[in-house]
Amino acid sequence: MLTNNYQNWQVNADADQIAWLTLSKKDESVNSLDASILNELEQILIEVDQAKELKAVVIQSGKTSGFIAGADIEKFTQLKTSDEAFKLIRHGQQVFNKLAALTIPSIALIDGFCLGGGLELALACRYRIVEDGRSKLGLPEVMLGIYPGWGGCVRLPKLIGAVAAMGLILTGRTVSAKAAKAMGFVDAVVPRRYLVKAAKDYALNPRKPKHGNWLSVLSNHTAVRPLLAKLFRYQLNKKIRADHYPAPYTAVATWEKEGVDGDKVYVAEANDLASLHQDSTAQNLVRDFFLQTRLKGLGKDTQFNAKQVHVIGAGVMGANIAAWCAYKGARVTLQDKDPQIIAKALQGAFKLFQQKLKDRLKVQAVMDRLVPDVEGNGIADADVIIEAIFENLEVKQNLFQSLEEKAKPEAILATNTSSIPLDDINSVLKNPGRLVGIHFFNPVAKMMLVEVVKGDKTSDAVFNNALAFVHDLDKLPLPVKSSPGFLVNRVLMPYLMESMELLKEGYLPEEIDAAAVDFGMPMGPVQLADTVGLDVCLSVARNLTAHYGGEVPQRLIEMVTAKQLGVKTGEGFYVYKNGKPIRKKPNRTLSAAQKETLIDRMIYRMLNESAACLREGVVQDGDLLDAGMIFGTGFAPFRGGPIHYADSIGKETLLNTFQKLASQFGPRFKADAYWNTLKP
């Protein structure tokens, strides 16, 4: 007989003697594994083992949100010592080994996300049956600075071979049910209505369980592992560095050394995770995860549903904003004064949908939602109207004046301006409170962050609805106050300007970019300027220097005049071939001290501008600022954002470095007054 008095599990045996274990984590909407769930599962498995009448056990989720999202990250980070982390990992391994050792068939019945520890639990079952549609499977632990230590790095390579397994483990990417079946770690993919039937079928008519073929066995062999490990490291090195992101390299090293058999590998993994848990990369990546969760939560509870969106301006930004809104389910009308530009925008949208949806009928359905509208007929029905026309105050004012007349009274009027203060644009409106900034970044489809800009007169209701709108687009809304450059461009600009200064002093683009990438930026400032477009950089630089002082670099002006605009013209600071910069190898090597100065000069300027933004209340707090810079610019995620990074340097060192830089390079390095508020 099975008992059924658990906090998180429902345990029932049916007439066919199948035990159904339903996980429904107490007081949570999502299942994530923690010590109490593991303890209970261990107890249940002991009972299952003893109940000789049972024919099979099925593990499923009682939550509509999905199967299991992974381990409870919050609780994992709360563990104080590496010893506590070691114990938790070991315990999880032992419970999952117990599950794997059951003599009766065990089935993971997966509907929705099955990630991290959730997939490791499923891999310990004999079969995995997955809903065909919304389900996603993966091991995203490396994104949090750790790696799968509850058997994921043992069972998955055994089952599907080391190459395919590491393809998931080292990237953290998730796959659909069908892809997982094709890779060989899912047994059956069925529509939701057949899940229970399929589970019963597997329970009562057990098939031969999947196990690795000869290639999988070979890939994990002692003689082959060093060769493959080299390949894995080579692939990792193309994207990341071991000193910045140690976890995937550690996973490879332990797999190479210990293989996939015996308890030794489990102990080694538990040791690895115990030390990674203490590492600043893991702590900062977990922090980033929570920052992202915070942004995802903004606008979540506001009742605002934009069914109809009207976008004006079908250029670089408008075209992509319209396409994204249609892709996310809204009916969109797209207006431009030039019909040919709308036609080009629709072609671009078609390409995006093809890439994303890979299904002709789905692409057609989204295309049907994106309607060309030269006359602006969609204005009267739109819930949100987004303006993305030229960056010119008077033109924008005229447009909003006419929009105010034609739009529904409750419709949001939004501008995508990157530099014009909202209160300048809305000064011509009868109801200036209706205007909000919804500032997307280029390329729209890739950039997660959207600044939602509040002018002095923007009403709270409109602002909150705008946050909700951005939330519904599956982007990360960042609330900012209307001030020149808002947050992201303002903080980024000094980084770009300092690189121009360094160029003027004779440093090479390659040297400057390499220093920034060494620090952990996704792209050096010189290449970034080329990518954004030197014309765009120049106009932002002009706008920001007009407000905050400083000089627009002469070289930038000259290059724009010469139409050397960067990637889009094939030449900027670099010459481009197939969109890639041709880098020359510098014929000198900078000393470590020189490199350090380069990094300090670029990064400290960003830190100082971040401080000024906080002091002026451009964003509400340091966490939001960090989130904005990480998700809007890729600011070294493993360092946790500019403010957190400054904090980790410590007040004294920070102020000393500012002083040193100011005495050497001028007053632009004078430490902002905000830093005095830091705790020593």
Active site residues: 439
- 456 binding ligand NAI? (CB under 6 A): no
Q: What are phi and psi of 171, to 5 degrees?
A: -105, -25
Reduce the secondary structure of 111-148 to three states and give it as a string. Answer: CCEEECHHHHHHHHCCEEEEECCCCEEECHHHHHCCCC
Hey, which residues does 58 pair with through a beta bridge?
A: 20, 107
Give me the least distance between CB of 319 and ligand NAI, in Å please: 8
Helix (H) or strand (E) holding 384: strand 384-387
Give me the least distance between CB of 609 and ligand NAI, in Å please: 19
- C-beta of 146 vs 399, nearer to ligand NAI: 399
For the chain, the C-alpha Rg in angstroms (whole number) is: 28
Helix (H) or strand (E) holding 498: helix 488-504
Burial of 338 (0-12, 13-18, 19+ CB in 10 A): exposed
- Nearest residue to ligand NAI on Cβ basis: 315
- 206 binding ligand NAI? (CB under 6 A): no
Query: Which residue type sits at 462?
Result: V
- 114 binding ligand NAI? (CB under 6 A): no
Question: 19 and 52 in contact (C-beta within 8 Å)?
Answer: no
Query: Which residue type sits at 348?
Result: G
- C-beta of 241 vs 568, nearer to ligand NAI: 568
Please pick, from the candidates 60, 281, 284, 416, the single residue that binds ligand NAI as defined by CB under 6 A: 416
- C-beta of 73 vs 618, nearer to ligand NAI: 618
- 275 binding ligand NAI? (CB under 6 A): no
- 318 binding ligand NAI? (CB under 6 A): yes
Dmax (CA) for the chain in angstroms is 84
Which among 312-320, 347-355, 365-373, 647-655 is the span making contact with ligand NAI, rule CB under 6 A? 312-320
Which among 121-129, 142-150, 309-317, 496-504 is the span making contact with ligand NAI, rule CB under 6 A? 309-317
- 314 binding ligand NAI? (CB under 6 A): yes
Reduce the secondary structure of 442-469 to three states and give it as a string. Answer: CCCCCCCEEEEEECCCCCHHHHHHHHHH
Interface of this chain with ligand NAI, residues 378 to 397, rule: CB under 6 A: 388-391, 395
Q: What are phi and psi of 547, to 5 degrees?
A: -90, -40
Upper half-sphere CA count for residue 198 (Cβ side, 13 Å): 21
- 402 binding ligand NAI? (CB under 6 A): no
Give me the least distance between CB of 324 and ligand NAI, in Å please: 13
- C-beta of 417 vs 608, nearer to ligand NAI: 417
Distance CA 588, CA 269 (A): 42
Question: 192 and 258 in contact (C-beta within 8 Å)?
Answer: no
- C-beta of 243 vs 338, nearer to ligand NAI: 338
Strands 106-110 and 476-481, bridge-based pairing: unpaired
Residue 76 three-state SS: helix
Is the backbone peptide bond immediately before 479 cis, with ω within 30 degrees of 0? no
Interface of this chain with ligand NAI, residues 424 to 453, rule: CB under 6 A: 440, 442
Please pick, from the candidates 312, 411, 493, 636, the single residue that binds ligand NAI as defined by CB under 6 A: 312
- 484 binding ligand NAI? (CB under 6 A): no
- C-beta of 378 vs 622, nearer to ligand NAI: 378
Which among 210-218, 306-314, 424-432, 455-463 is the span making contact with ligand NAI, rule CB under 6 A? 306-314
Give me the least distance between CB of 10 and ligand NAI, in Å please: 50
> Cα dihedral angle (185, 190, 195, 197), rounded to 10 degrees?
-110
Interface of this chain with ligand NAI, residues 519 to 558, rule: CB under 6 A: 536
- C-beta of 198 vs 399, nearer to ligand NAI: 399
- 112 binding ligand NAI? (CB under 6 A): no
Burial of 177 (0-12, 13-18, 19+ CB in 10 A): buried
Distance CA 532, CA 61 (A): 46
Burial of 443 (0-12, 13-18, 19+ CB in 10 A): exposed
- 317 binding ligand NAI? (CB under 6 A): yes
- 321 binding ligand NAI? (CB under 6 A): no
- C-beta of 462 vs 492, nearer to ligand NAI: 492
Please pick, from the candidates 239, 337, 351, 563, the single residue that binds ligand NAI as defined by CB under 6 A: 337
Which among 261-269, 311-319, 627-635, 653-661 is the span making contact with ligand NAI, rule CB under 6 A? 311-319
Name the residues that contact ligand NAI, by CB under 6 A: 312-318, 335-338, 341, 388-391, 395, 399, 416-418, 440, 442, 536
